[in-house]
């Protein structure tokens, strides 16, 4: 037998029994929450043109292939860009804002044996055609509610604003390559390396502010510190916006779960405003990520503001499985057995039972003993013998 | 009472220096010093130390099974990954350098060069920054051997004093990056246990200052 006939490619896996139970449960819980908020489902193809993602997602991280005309395709690495495309192309007449949700796989080509999966089941929402505090508040509230609904009681949601970073970068006199490096160092909170790089730049208030940026995370006091530290009107506007959002979220009772992180800059460049991330006890990486992206839809010909987030459902499923609060699918309640010649009667009886909501199997064996043994092995409590007499 | 913070230490010299640091912080590190074959060891009642190979420290921290880790910048540069790199502990200082046989000009001419290294990612990133197309060969053991056997024109390796290089007729062509021990932190841990982790970082920083001052 060939070596690869009994395994799946690296980064993929089969889901069995209780893994499917928990996955469907998490999906149902999350999407039901989205639906109750007035969002409608869309599904986008698993294959898309490479160009759709080319300027946003690193080409090395995408699974690529070509179509029958030699054009480059990728396996969907993200759901936000396809939804931006479909709204621009097909939902131009819809009343704004458009509220859409999805629950589908995305594919990432992982390099090396880090134990990450290349196929990730994501659910998320996009709120398109709305700007301002009300829309941003709705997103963060829905994000927090979604984590709660999915059973993650101990969670943190951190909010930031890309305007803080962008305004500091504008005030900084340095090469684009250095700006990219600064973004990475702030994002990874590499204090030492960040300091080294900043020392090579001409000193100024922006340089000092950037030096402190990764440390500016925590409760509301961060905003007060930042107001003193961060120069520029854009930064001040971003901070007062965050302050309003934070106050509203505290009014909602999320004071303990919401944190500010001004050093959050997100690696995706399409974000333009409030950004946020969710962390859950028991999962080492962010399980939720999102933010405002007001310029993205213009690339597809419709200039609409938008915001949204995605949740890694696989990570939530892993938590449920780790906590062990998932039972494998239950055995049927009944096994039906009929002697030779009574098969049709057996299936009539089974249909009756199923109509009443009873889960039952019809025995494939023609001997009662073997049927009994099967029921015992499968854990089916009751064996019913059908003789055909009504 | 929540569970203690779990910190992964790179076995060997980094482990020794970190334990000295923990001693200065007034912690009871006797369990680490007399560890026997155990790999998870309590230090006081709020810290748990795990001993691992350098690259594994990163893996454990990245996956969140350890909240913090102490590991060399060399391993960080080679392995990459997502975590916070929050503190330079200042010990384990050395550097990555490009070295070539004494008297040769590594950058001369237009023929493509071959470089032997234990750190292919560091080497590749370095030559990409220079815009050079270089053939990189991964070597597991003594990299100095590769130019001596004419397998490579140069090496990218860790240099401390340069003695090994000199003894093998090699010299440093250019420094690639400085290296020292760093404290790394899992991203979710920092968010979920912010206060505790910030306190540990601050205490370690204070102990480092004390040692240097």
CATH of the domain at B29: 3.40.190.10
Averaged pLDDT, B50-61: 95
- The minimum CA-CA distance between A314 and chain B, rounded to whole Å, is 14
B59 touches chain A (CB under 8 A): yes
* Partner-chain contact B191 A156, CB within 8 Å: yes
User: What is the per-residue burial (b if ≥16 Cβ within 10 Å, else e) of A190-216?
Assistant: bbbbbeebbeebeeeebbebbbbbbeb
Strands A360-362 and A334-337: parallel
Q: What is the pLDDT of residues B77-94, one digit of tens each?
A: 998 888 999 999 999 999
The secondary structure element, H or E, covering residue A121 is strand A119-128
Q: Which CATH class is domain A10-323?
A: alpha beta
* Partner-chain contact A284 B182, CB within 8 Å: no
Query: How many domains are there within chain B?
Result: 2
Per-residue DSSP letters for A175-204?
A: -HHHHHHHHHHHHTT-HHHHHHHHHTSPPS
| Both structure tokens of B166 | 């000199």
ipTM of the complex: 0.77
Distance from C-alpha of A368 to C-alpha of A388, rounded to nearest angstrom: 15
Average pLDDT over chain A, rounded to an integer:
92
* Partner-chain contact B191 A259, CB within 8 Å: yes
Identify whether residues B70 and B81 lie together within a single domain: yes
Identify whether residues B24 and B82 lie together within a single domain: yes
**What percentage of chain B has pLDDT greater than the value 70?**
99
Identify whether residues B174 and B184 lie together within a single domain: no
Residues of A in contact with B185 (CB under 8 A): 189
Distance from C-alpha of A90 to C-alpha of A100, rounded to nearest angstrom: 13
Count of A-B CB contacts under 8 Å:
60
* Angle at CA of residue A180, ends A179 and A185, nearest 5°: 95
Residues of A in contact with B138 (CB under 8 A): none
Averaged pLDDT, A325-341: 90
Residues of B in contact with A268 (CB under 8 A): none
Bridge partners, B117 (sequence order): B138, B156
Averaged pLDDT, A315-319: 93
- The minimum CA-CA distance between B180 and chain A, rounded to whole Å, is 11
* Partner-chain contact B187 A279, CB within 8 Å: yes
Residues of B in contact with A115 (CB under 8 A): 59, 63
Per-residue DSSP letters for B141-152?
A: S-TTHHHHTTS-
Distance from C-alpha of A288 to C-alpha of A279, rounded to nearest angstrom: 7
Identify whether residues B86 and B148 lie together within a single domain: no
Residues of A in contact with B84 (CB under 8 A): 188-190
Out of B83, B84, B187, closest to residue A286 by CB:
B187
| Residue B27 CA to its chain's centroid (Å) | 24
- The minimum CA-CA distance between A289 and chain B, rounded to whole Å, is 13
Q: Would you tell me the crossing angle of helices A176-187 and A191-199 to the nearest 10 degrees?
A: 160
Identify whether residues B136 and B189 lie together within a single domain: no
- Chain B residue with CA closest to A196: the answer is B178
- Give the side-chain half-sphere CA count within 13 A for A159: 29
Q: What is the pLDDT of residues A241-265, one digit of tens each?
A: 999 999 999 999 999 999 999 988 8
Confidence at B53, pLDDT banded by 50, 70, 90: very high
Averaged pLDDT, A110-123: 84
Distance from C-alpha of A101 to C-alpha of B18, rounded to nearest angstrom: 49
B177 touches chain A (CB under 8 A): no
Out of B85, B87, B192, closest to residue A188 by CB:
B85
* Partner-chain contact A190 B85, CB within 8 Å: yes
* Partner-chain contact B185 A189, CB within 8 Å: yes
Position A389 scores a pLDDT of 63
Q: What is the pLDDT of residues A202-255, one digit of tens each?
A: 888 888 889 888 889 998 899 999 998 888 888 899 999 999 999 999 999 999
Does the structure show a pLDDT above 70 at B1?
no
- Chain A residue with CA closest to B194: the answer is A218
Residues of A in contact with B82 (CB under 8 A): 188, 285
Confidence at A128, pLDDT banded by 50, 70, 90: very high
Out of A114, A115, A191, closest to residue B87 by CB:
A191
3-state helix, strand, coil in chain B (%, to 5): 35, 30, 35
* Partner-chain contact B188 A115, CB within 8 Å: no
Position A200 scores a pLDDT of 86
Most confident of A52-56, A171-175, B153-157: B153-157
Identify whether residues B119 and B149 lie together within a single domain: yes
In this structure, are residues A272 and A136 in contact, taking their beta carbons and an 8 Å threshold?
Answer: no
Identify whether residues B102 and B173 lie together within a single domain: yes
- Chain A residue with CA closest to B193: the answer is A281
Q: Would you tell me the crossing angle of helices A176-187 and A162-171 to the nearest 10 degrees?
A: 140
Identify whether residues B168 and B203 lie together within a single domain: no
Start-to-end Cα distance in chain A = 52
- The minimum CA-CA distance between A286 and chain B, rounded to whole Å, is 6
Averaged pLDDT, B187-208: 93
| Residue closest to A164 by CA, chosen among A62, A234, A225 | A234
Position A193 scores a pLDDT of 81
- Interfacial residues of A (vs B; Cβ cutoff 8 Å): 114-115, 154, 156, 158, 188-193, 217-218, 259, 261, 279-286
Residues of A in contact with B186 (CB under 8 A): 284
Identify whether residues B77 and B126 lie together within a single domain: no
* Partner-chain contact A114 B81, CB within 8 Å: yes
Is residue B179 helix, strand or coil?
Answer: strand
- The minimum CA-CA distance between A193 and chain B, rounded to whole Å, is 9
Out of B62, B85, B189, closest to residue A189 by CB:
B85
- Residue B56's domain comprises 5-92+180-212
Position A355 scores a pLDDT of 97
| Both structure tokens of A68 | 């029958």
Confidence at B2, pLDDT banded by 50, 70, 90: confident
- The minimum CA-CA distance between A215 and chain B, rounded to whole Å, is 10
| Both structure tokens of A76 | 């969907």
Identify whether residues B79 and B138 lie together within a single domain: no
B62 touches chain A (CB under 8 A): yes
Residues of B in contact with A190 (CB under 8 A): 84-86
**What percentage of chain A has pLDDT greater than the value 70?**
98
């Amino acid at each position: 037998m060939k070596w690869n006939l009994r395994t799946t490619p690296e980064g993929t896996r089969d889901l069995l029994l209780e893994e499917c139970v928990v996955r469907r449960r998490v999906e149902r819980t999350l999407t039901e929450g989205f639906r109750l908020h007035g969002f409608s489902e869309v599904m986008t193809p698993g294959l898309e043109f490479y160009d759709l993602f080319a300027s946003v997602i690193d080409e090395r991280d995408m699974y690529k292939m070509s179509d029958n005309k030699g054009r480059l395709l990728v396996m969907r690495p993200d759901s936000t860009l396809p939804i931006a495309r479909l709204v621009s192309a097909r939902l131009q007449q819809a009343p704004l804002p458009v509220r859409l949700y999805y629950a589908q796989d995305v594919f990432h080509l992982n390099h090396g044996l880090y134990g990450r999966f290349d196929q990730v089941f994501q659910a998320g929402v996009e709120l398109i055609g709305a700007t301002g505090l009300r829309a941003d508040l709705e997103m963060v509230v829905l994000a927090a509610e979604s984590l709660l609904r999915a059973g993650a009681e101990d969670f943190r949601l951190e909010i930031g604003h890309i305007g803080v970073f962008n305004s500091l970068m504008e005030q900084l006199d340095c090469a684009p390559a250095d700006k990219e490096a600064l973004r990475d160092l702030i994002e990874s909170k590499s204090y030492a390396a960040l300091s080294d790089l900043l020392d090579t730049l001409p000193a100024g208030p922006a340089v000092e502010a950037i030096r402190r940026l990764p440390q500016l995370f925590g409760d509301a006091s961060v905003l007060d510190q930042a107001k003193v530290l961060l120069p520029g009107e854009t930064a001040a506007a971003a901070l007062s916006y965050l302050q309003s959002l934070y106050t509203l979220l505290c009014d909602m009772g999320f004071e303990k779960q919401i944190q500010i992180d001004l050093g959050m800059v997100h690696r995706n460049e399409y974000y333009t405003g409030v950004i946020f991330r969710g962390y859950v006890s028991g999962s080492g990486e962010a399980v939720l990520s999102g933010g405002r992206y007001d310029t993205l839809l213009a690339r597809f010909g419709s200039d609409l503001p938008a915001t949204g987030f995605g949740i890694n459902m696989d990570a939530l499923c892993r938590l449920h499985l780790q906590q062990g609060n998932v039972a494998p699918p239950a055995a049927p309640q009944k096994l039906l057995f009929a002697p030779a010649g009574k098969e049709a009667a057996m299936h009539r009886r089974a249909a009756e039972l199923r109509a009443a909501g009873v889960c039952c199997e019809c025995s494939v064996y023609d001997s009662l003993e073997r049927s009994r043994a099967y029921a015992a092995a499968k854990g089916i409590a009751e064996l019913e013998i059908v003789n055909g007499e009504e | 009472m929540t569970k203690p913070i779990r910190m992964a230490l790179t076995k060997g010299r980094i482990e020794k220096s970190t334990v000295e640091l923990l001693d200065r912080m007034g912690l009871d590190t006797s369990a680490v010093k007399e560890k026997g074959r155990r790999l998870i060891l309590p230090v006081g009642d709020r810290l748990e130390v795990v001993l691992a190979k350098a690259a594994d420290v990163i893996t454990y921290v990245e996956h969140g099974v350890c909240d913090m880790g102490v590991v060399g910048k060399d391993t960080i540069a080679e392995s990459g990954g997502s975590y916070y790199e929050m503190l330079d502990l200042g010990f384990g200082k050395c550097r990555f350098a490009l070295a070539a046989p004494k008297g040769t000009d590594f950058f001369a001419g237009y023929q493509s060069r071959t470089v032997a290294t234990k750190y292919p990612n560091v080497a590749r990133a370095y030559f990409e920054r220079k815009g050079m197309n270089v053939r990189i060969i991964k070597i597991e053991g003594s990299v100095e051997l590769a130019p001596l056997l004419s397998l490579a024109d140069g090496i990218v390796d860790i240099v401390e004093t340069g003695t090994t290089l000199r003894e093998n007729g090699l010299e440093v062509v250019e420094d690639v990056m400085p290296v020292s021990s760093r404290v790394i932190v899992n991203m979710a841990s920092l968010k979920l246990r912010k206060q505790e982790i910030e306190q540990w970082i601050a205490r370690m920083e204070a102990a480092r200052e004390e040692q240097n001052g």
